[in-house]
Amino acid sequence: MKPKIAIACQGGGSQTAFTAGVLKALFENNVQDYFKIVSLSGTSGGAICAFLIWYALKKGDEIIWKRVIDFWADNTAQTYQERLFNDSVIKYLEWVSKGLIPQYTLSPSSPMAKIGFSLATQGLRSRFTNLKELLEAHIDFAELAAWGPVTEPPILILGACNIISGRLHKFISRQEAIKVEHLMASACVPNIFPAVSIETMAYWDGLFSDNPPIRSLIRRALVGIENIPQEIWVIKINPTAADRVPVQSDDIADRRNEVEGNISLFQSLDQIEFLNDLFLRGAFKEEFLAEAELTQAIKIPKSFADDPDRDYHIPMIEMSKELADTLNYESKLDRCPESLKRLIEDGEKQGKQFIETRLTQMGLR
Tell me the domain boundaries of the chain.
4-79+129-362
pLDDT of residue 93: 87
Say which residue, 243 or 352, is predicted with more confidence. Answer: 352
Mean pLDDT is highest, among 105-114, 220-229, 312-321, for 220-229
pLDDT of residue 5: 94
pLDDT of residue 210: 77
Q: Which residues does residue 202 pair with via DSSP β-bridges, in sequence order? A: 197
CB atoms within 10 A of CB 164: 11
Q: Determine the Cα–Cα distance for residues 75 and 319; give it in Å rounded to an integer.
A: 21
Say which residue, 83 or 248, is predicted with more confidence. Answer: 83
pLDDT band at 300 (very low <50, low <70, confident <90, very high): very low
First to last CA, the chain: 17
Question: What is the average pLDDT score of the chain?
Answer: 86
Q: Which residues contact 68 (CB under 8 A, 6 or more apart)?
A: 20, 23, 24, 49, 52, 53, 56
pLDDT band at 287 (very low <50, low <70, confident <90, very high): low
Return the percentage of the chain with pLDDT > 90, whole number: 55
The yes-or-no verdict on residue 9 having pLDDT over 60 is yes
The 10 Å CB-count burial string (b at 16+, else e) for 206-239 is: bbbbbbbbbbbbbbbebbbeebbbbbbbbbbbbb
Mean pLDDT is highest, among 104-113, 166-175, 250-259, for 166-175
The yes-or-no verdict on residue 200 having pLDDT over 80 is yes
Q: How big is the CA angle at 36 (ends 35 and 38), to the nearest 5 degrees?
A: 135
State the pTM of this model.
0.85
Q: Which residues does residue 39 pair with via DSSP β-bridges, in sequence order? A: 6, 155
Say which residue, 214 or 340, is predicted with more confidence. Answer: 340
Q: Which residues does residue 232 pair with via DSSP β-bridges, in sequence order? A: 6
pLDDT band at 165 (very low <50, low <70, confident <90, very high): confident
pLDDT band at 315 (very low <50, low <70, confident <90, very high): confident
Mean pLDDT is highest, among 160-164, 238-242, 298-302, for 160-164
The 10 Å CB-count burial string (b at 16+, else e) for 7-43 is: bbbbbbbbbbbbbbbbbbbbbebebeebbebbbbbbb
Mean pLDDT is highest, among 21-25, 110-114, 300-304, for 21-25
CA distances from 213 to 159, 206, 255 (A): 6, 9, 22
Q: Which residues contact 230 (CB under 8 A, 6 or more apart)?
A: 3, 4, 5, 310, 312, 313
pLDDT of residue 209: 67
Residue 183 · residue 99 · CB < 8 Å: no
Q: Determine the Cα–Cα distance for residues 258 and 239; give it in Å rounded to an integer.
A: 7
For residues 172-180, give the mean pLDDT. 96
Q: Quick one: which of 237, 254, 38, 35 has its CA closest to 153?
A: 38
Q: Quick one: which of 204, 139, 221, 144 has its CA closest to 176?
A: 144
pLDDT of residue 100: 83
CATH assignment of 4-79+129-362, given 3.40.50, 3.40.1090, 1.20.140, 2.40.390?
3.40.1090
